[in-house]
Amino acid sequence: MEDLIRIENLVKIYERGEVLALNDVSTTVQKGEFLVLLGLSGSGKSTLLRCINRLIEPTAGTIVFDGKDVTKASSRQLRHLRRRMAMIFQQFNLVKRSSVLTNVLSGRLGYVNPAASAIHKFAKQDIADAMACLERVGIPEQAYKRADELSGGQQQRVGIARALMQQPDLLMADEPVSALDPATAHSIMQYLEQMNQEDDVTVVTSLHFLSLARRYGARILALKDGEIVFEGSPAEIDKVKFKEIYGEDAEEVEVR
């Protein structure tokens, strides 16, 4: 299989606090893969994800996305690359005062005419697509509500619909279910799985719970203090590996 992302010797240092967030991380993500990032809070998962679309500027190293060097891309090239990498977030990051439909449509911003979008004008096709995306995540009737009137699970579905609008090659999810209850968490994870299997979207997601990673992940990458401590299939994680990732005092908990 072909590589979609190639990361070489990635280093990120937050200068202000002199924190070494990523230390020489190298890995590849193949097309169509479902990769799960594991690790404690502060282990560098979020930083790694945000380096891929350069929401955070890496300190050193290279990231190649589909043959193009992200780290050297000009701002215009970067915007074109970002269109193909959708992202969903732990806190959903919807614009709370805007309508659900506007939030979904904003997934299309990279494609549309900037002048038209400045006056909130979208093509009929885009609006029809947005409704279709909302239908796919099962909340078409909420389209004209304000985003903050929705429940957490519904807000994350809007986040997914916004990602779908981008028609991405890659979906990055930063702890997508940490703010949700277990039942809702599974339904959200199933949407990711569906995108991965039916739309051939490569998924890279960070997760807190190992049980969720085992259930959905094809491959697992574990980080600790900014370094890769484990790379392999979920089945390979035994008690010893688990303690290595999460520390000696950790106990595994199940999320069903």
Partner 1 sequence: MTKTYHAGFMSDKPNWGQALKLWRRDVLVFLTDVACLAGLWMLITYAAISPDRGVLVFLTVPWWLMLLVVAVLAGLWQSFGLSSGMKLLGRRLKATQDASGAAAFARRLFRALLLPFSPLLVLPVLVTARYVPIHDRWSGFETQSATEVVDPKSPWYRRSWAVAIALLALTAFAVSVIFTRVNLVKLFTEFDNTANIRAQIANPNWGVLFEGGQLLLVTLFMAFMATLFGIIVAVPLSFVAARNLTQGLVGRAVYTIVRGILSILRSIQPFIWVIVLIVWVKAGNAPMAGVIALFIHSVADLTKLYAERLESIDPGPVEAIRATGASQSQVIMYGIIPQIINPYMSFTIYRWDINVRMSTIVGMVGGGGIGQRLLQEMRVSDYSDAVVLMMLIMVAVWAMDTLSARLRERIETGSSNPALPSYALKLKTEISNRTFGSRW
Q: Which residues bind partner 1 (CB under 8 A)?
A: 9, 11, 13, 18, 20, 23-24, 53, 55, 59-60, 79-87, 89, 91-98, 102, 106-111, 114, 117-118, 120, 146, 159, 162, 166, 227
148 versus 252: smaller Cβ distance to partner 1: 148
Residues 2 and 19: their CA atoms lie apart, in Å, by 34
Token pair of 89 as six digits? 């977030």
Residue 3 beta carbon to partner 1: minimum distance, rounded to whole angstroms: 21
Residue 55 beta carbon to partner 1: minimum distance, rounded to whole angstroms: 6
3 versus 8: smaller Cβ distance to partner 1: 8
Instruction: Compute the C-alpha angle 63/65/70, nearest 5°.
Output: 50
210 versus 222: smaller Cβ distance to partner 1: 222
Instruction: Compute the C-alpha angle 162/163/166, nearest 5°.
Output: 95
58 versus 210: smaller Cβ distance to partner 1: 58
Residue 231 beta carbon to partner 1: minimum distance, rounded to whole angstroms: 12
Residues 147 and 255: their CA atoms lie apart, in Å, by 28
The CA-atom distances, in angstroms, between 137 and each of 106, 122, 165 are: 17, 21, 12
Residue 203 beta carbon to partner 1: minimum distance, rounded to whole angstroms: 15
Residues 54 and 46: their CA atoms lie apart, in Å, by 12
